[in-house]
Structure 1
Amino acid sequence: MGRGMARNLSAAGLLAGVWNRTRANGEALAEELQVPLTEDAAALARLCDVVITCVSADQDVREVVGALADGVSKGDVVIDTSTIGVDTAEAAAETLRARGAEFLDAPVTGGPEGADTGTLQIMVGGDPDVLERIRPALQAIGSGATHFGPVGYGQRAKAVNQVMVAGLVQAISESLSFAEASGLDTERLLPVLTGGAAGSRLLERRGSRILAGDFEPGFRVSLHHKDLNLCRDLLQKLDVSLPLVEMTIKHYERLLEQGYGEEDTSALFRLKRDLFASGNRKSL
């Protein structure tokens, strides 16, 4: 997703340089976009007033923000688009604030397709005045950037999104397994479903691929599993356990055990389809 964001920033004339922890990836992107590849994160921070980061997990953010802190100046802004814990976002903000820089937690939704087309929805936590100051950068990578509160509230909004995605993946996987087992012509059924009350972007984008057994990511099982555990942490602070979250974590753990963690979340169809297999008709 970072590549898509960088390409759109470049197209808007806003990309000053790039850096990647995997140097080969950084070199390829720098050559494609004709911008400098910096030696390290601190050098990138010294080059730019605004840095946008996109990594996978909490520890990654802690390490990258720690490295950026060595190069930031007063008034610089770091915008993190990763999905991480609220505590990590708050710690990152403190690290940068000590150097006079600002931090926005700005997780995104829309998947690789949204990153490529610049249509991501961005959920922002942090100082609203800082958001307005750097809004042109976010407009280059997304179709909307909504402020939800102080640092950490972008992550809270993203948690709600990830719970809803879990529900959609569960419903689509079960329904299409049911349709297939019922002997329906699924090629004819899909346009009816996507055009009716059950329609969703996920069904539209993934429906035919699911039925074809194509689980190329997309959004990986391993990442959504990580995100739902972050949701569980927030729910525990509210003294609530959501059945949908617990069930989906359990199902993803089965997929991880079977070696499907790097497939798209729609690989949940594998488990649902097995429910209809002869001699295996029991609930998950």
Structure 2
Amino acid sequence: MKIGFCGLGRMGVPMAKRLLQAGHEVHVWNRSPGPLRDLQAAGAHVCATPRVLGERCAWVALCLFDAGAVRDVVFGVDGLAQAGSLELLIDHSSIPPAETREFSERLVRANGAVWLDAPVSGGTGGAAAGTLAIMVGGPADVCDQAAPLLMAYASRVTHMGPTGCGQVAKLCNQTIVTATIAAIAESVALAQDAGVDAARLAEALAGGWADSTLLQIFVPRMTQAPGAAQATLDTMLKDLDTVAALARDQGTAMPVATAAGQSYRLASRQGLGAEDASQLIRLYDRAARRADGETSR
């Protein structure tokens, strides 16, 4: 089918490529031109504005950084909302549930299009492998219609309820992920300070109650030289701030998420925000702190 895609960042590029590999006709728009050239070479059709993309494609997917970016692309000058032929907007961005509901209602008034909030989990590796988990809010029948398309880059599509429920599920996901990464960082530091080879924790704890996908991924990332960022500390902090706002509004007590948020905020203030989330270890790792100090001198 013909599908539009806006937002070609770390996640958007591999997702759009998976759509191309599945045989779909993909039309793309992005604020910066670099990723557009890459996707065009892979067979995608480049559009000059979101509005043009929406006029070409009845279904459009978004994968943008935050609610401000979503608002600009959908409702800004030459935004998607001005495309009368747009029928379905699938938002893979992670944004607050309240703003998702506001945007959905506004889009219906603008051109009658349906909004599915469909945030994803699985990182860039999952996007490239087609194994993302997608949690969806919006009409159940529309989710069912969109699911075959989404399976180009997902292994699971779960309808969570009305508009905004997909975003709530993603915030639950991020609460667990961020707290677990913080606990792994502290465990790696505890082992290192005790003179234990922390790199062996993943092997030693495999199959036990502490084992998890995150443990197997992040122990190596924290004990080896850092690679390219897959999910940045600032992205995690953005989601934790959204978790905190939702919890405050509905009176949910979240002491663990609050404590984790302080670690990510401290890392961001120390200039690590653009680094991979594994680099939270630098708050605790003596060797990393020494290396950072020598670099700054």
Q: TM-score, length-normalised on structure 1?
A: 0.92
Question: Is 1:48 equivalent to 2:60 in the alignment?
Answer: no
Shift of 1:237: 1.9
Question: Which of residues 91, 99, 104 is equivalent to 1:93?
Answer: 104
Residue identity over aligned pairs, in percent, reads 36
1:211-255 deviations in Å (ceiling 9; x for gaps): 124164121110110101100111012213312221122112211
Shift of 1:135: 1.5
Gapped runs of 5+ residues in structure 2? 1-10, 291-297
Structure 2 Cα separation of the partners of residues 138 and 5 of structure 1:
9
1:53-86 deviations in Å (ceiling 9; x for gaps): 1010110011112111111426x11100010011
Structure 1 Cα separation of the partners of residues 161 and 214 of structure 2:
28
Kindly indicate whether the alpha-carbon contact (under 8 Å) linking 1:17 and 1:30 is maintained by their aligned counterparts in 2: no
Question: Is 1:60 equivalent to 2:69 in the alignment?
Answer: yes
Structure 1 Cα separation of the partners of residues 229 and 44 of structure 2:
28
Kindly indicate whether the alpha-carbon contact (under 8 Å) linking 1:215 and 1:266 is maintained by their aligned counterparts in 2: no
Q: 1:102 to 1:214 in 2, by over 3 A?
A: same
Look up the SS of the partner of 1:121 in the other structure: strand
1:126-178 deviations in Å (ceiling 9; x for gaps): 01111111221111110011011111000110111111012211210011111
Structure 1 Cα separation of the partners of residues 255 and 212 of structure 2:
22
Shift of 1:23: 2.2
| Partner amino acid, structure 2, of 1:19 | W
| Partner amino acid, structure 2, of 1:176 | V
Question: Is 1:264 equivalent to 2:276 in the alignment?
Answer: yes
* 1:98-137 to 2 correspondences below 5 Å: 98=109, 99-137=111-149
Shift of 1:272: 2.3
Gapped runs of 5+ residues in structure 1? 279-284
Question: Is 1:23 equivalent to 2:33 in the alignment?
Answer: yes
| Partner amino acid, structure 2, of 1:44 | L
**The 10-residue stretch of structure 1 (169-178 or 247-256) with the greater mean CA deviation from structure 2:** 247-256
**Which residue pairs with 2:8 in the alignment?**
none
Shift of 1:27: 2.4
Look up the SS of the partner of 2:271 in the other structure: coil
Look up the SS of the partner of 2:38 in the other structure: helix
**Which residue pairs with 2:259 in the alignment?**
247
| Partner amino acid, structure 1, of 2:65 | S
**Which residue pairs with 1:204 in the alignment?**
216
Look up the SS of the partner of 2:94 in the other structure: coil
| Partner amino acid, structure 1, of 2:233 | V
Look up the SS of the partner of 2:35 in the other structure: helix
Structure 1 Cα separation of the partners of residues 191 and 274 of structure 2:
26
Structure 2 Cα separation of the partners of residues 198 and 233 of structure 1:
29
Q: TM-score, length-normalised on structure 2?
A: 0.88
Shift of 1:19: 0.9
**Which residue pairs with 1:281 in the alignment?**
none
